[in-house]
Amino acid sequence: MNKYTKKKILEPFFITKNVGEGTGLGMSITYTMIKTIMDQFK
């Protein structure tokens, strides 16, 4: 793992895919679902 990846790895939407590889929506959808569920418990 290079220094850049190590620095960014814990950011919620950081990916190692190159531009144009895949849609990249999985993390965004997961984040939104978890946030919505957690907000219901507040």
AA identity, residue 12: P
Please give the chain's pLDDT, 42 residues, in tens: 899 989 998 887 788 888 777 766 777 888 899 999 999 987
Within a 10 A sphere around the Cβ of 8, how many other Cβ atoms? Answer: 12
Regarding pTM above 0.95, the answer is no
Q: Tokens representing 13?
A: 């939407």
Phi and psi of 33, rounded to 5°? -65, -45
Q: Dihedral sign, CA of 29, 30, 35, 36?
A: positive
Write a three-state SS string for 14-32.
CCCCCCCCCCCCHHHHHHH
